[in-house]
Chains A and B, each alone.
Chain A
Amino acid sequence: MSHFTKLAKANITSANAFAKAAEELGLKVSLNSPAVSYHGRNKIDNADVVIHMIEGDDIALTKNDETGFFDMQADWGYMGQAMVAKTKFKNIGDLQDRLIQLTTKNTIVDKYRREGWRAEFSDAQNGDLNLKLSRAD
């Protein structure tokens, strides 16, 4: 007897896993840095992770004290087209989803490797990632 478990959208629980995900996408990342948006008009004094997308517009990752998870903050609409032009993604939603997907992969792999599991992943046909964890009993 088994149960199927589904999480519709993973939250971001690790700043390091997020930074690693951004680097995997070839994006420039800073840790514990100021971030700007709306062509430099809005500022965050200290974000846990900053992805430098275009001049004056970053994606900032900050801890949400109410939820305990991290949130991505950016002026998505304002810099949308420029961001898309700089990356291989067709729209902002695809970029956000890919960042969350890779962050989730890194979070799970980091955690279970620390606990002695071996982690192997492979790409599925539709953009999903299959992950196999194994450990000697």
Chain B
Amino acid sequence: MKEISLQITASGGVQMLHDDAVDLAELGHIEMSRASHVEFDNDKQAWFVQSAATMKILKDDFKTRAEALTWEKNYYSPTGEGWHELTTKKEEAK
């Protein structure tokens, strides 16, 4: 099952963790920024997810990259813990 989450704001904007399946550019001029890094830790022999904004390791010890990506997608969904980090960062940058 493939799932994509997005948010349509009260002011008529749209924001989401990028997914090629949803082309927001059809609706207007989009802006894109790095949300996170998913890397392999050579010492621990495991994958980890790192915030691009704070460089903090959000979660590690994933056995596979796919597991790390799934966790990251949920974390940065509109109902996930990391959503505020993404949207607040954008507002403050204005």
The smallest beta-carbon distance between B22 and chain A, in angstroms, is 7
B54 in the interface, Cβ–Cβ < 8 Å? no
Cα A52 to Cα B28 with chains together (Å): 27
Partner of A2, one of B3, B11, B17, B29: B17
From A3, which residue of chain B is reached at the shortest CB distance?
Answer: B18
A85 in the interface, Cβ–Cβ < 8 Å? no
Whether the Cβ atoms of B15 and A6 lie closer than 8 Å is yes
**Cβ proximity bits B1-31 to A, threshold 8 Å, 1 near / 0 not:** 1111111111111111110011010111111
Interface size on A (CB < 8 Å)? 36
**Cβ proximity bits A11-24 to B, threshold 8 Å, 1 near / 0 not:** 10100000000000
Interface size on B (CB < 8 Å)? 42
B55 in the interface, Cβ–Cβ < 8 Å? no
Cα A130 to Cα B7 with chains together (Å): 5
The smallest beta-carbon distance between B57 and chain A, in angstroms, is 14
User: Given the interface contacts A7-B13, A97-B12, does A130 sit within 8 Å of B34 by beta carbon?
Assistant: no
Whether the Cβ atoms of B27 and A11 lie closer than 8 Å is yes
Stretch of A37-45, A53-61, A76-84, A101-109 at the chain-chain interface: A101-109
Q: List 20 additional contacts besides A101-B12, A108-B6; criterion CB under 8 Å.
A: A2-B35, A2-B36, A2-B38, A2-B72, A4-B15, A4-B33, A5-B30, A6-B31, A7-B24, A7-B31, A9-B12, A100-B12, A101-B9, A101-B10, A104-B12, A128-B7, A128-B8, A131-B8, A136-B2, A137-B2
Residues of B within 8 A of A (CB): 1-18, 21-22, 24, 26-38, 69, 72-73, 76, 78-79, 86, 90
